[in-house]
Chains A and B, each alone.
Chain A
Amino acid sequence: DGGITQSPKYLFRKEGQNVTLSCEQNLNHDAMYWYRQDPGQGLRLIYYSQIVNDFQKGDIAEGYSVSREKKESFPLTVTSAQKNPTAFYLCASSISAQKETQYFGPGTRLLVL
Chain B
Amino acid sequence: AQSVTQLGSHVSVSEGALVLLRCNYSSSVPPYLFWYVQYPNQGLQLLLKYTTGATLVKGINGFEAEFKKSETSFHLTKPSAHMSDAAEYFCAVSPNNFNKFYFGSGTKLNVKP
Contact = CB atoms under 8 A, between A and B. Distances in A.
Contacts of A40: 9, 105-106
A104 B99 contact: no
A15 interface: no
A107 to B, nearest CB: 5
Interface in B80-103: 90, 94, 96-101, 103
Interface residues of A, number: 30
A100 B99 CA distance: 6
B108 to A, nearest CB: 10
Contact of B99 (A4, A6, A102): A102
A95 B99 CA distance: 10
B90 A98 contact: no
B43 interface: yes
Contacts of A6: 43
A102 B43 contact: no
Interface residues of B, number: 25
Given A40-B9, A42-B106, A94 B99 contact: yes
B75 to A, nearest CB: 17
B103 A43 contact: yes
Contact of B104 (A31, A42, A90, A99): A42
Interface in B49-89: 49, 51
A98 B34 CA distance: 15
B42 A98 contact: no
Nearest to A35: B103
Given A40-B9, A45-B101, 13 more contacts: A58-B100, A90-B44, A92-B44, A96-B99, A99-B51, A99-B94, A99-B98, A101-B34, A102-B99, A104-B44, A104-B45, A106-B43, A107-B41
Interface of B: 4, 9, 32, 34, 36, 41-46, 49, 51, 90, 94, 96-101, 103-106
Interface of A: 4, 6, 31, 33, 35, 40-45, 48, 58, 88, 90, 92, 94, 96-107, 109
9 contacts: A42-B104, A45-B101, A88-B41, A92-B44, A97-B99, A99-B51, A99-B98, A104-B44, A106-B43
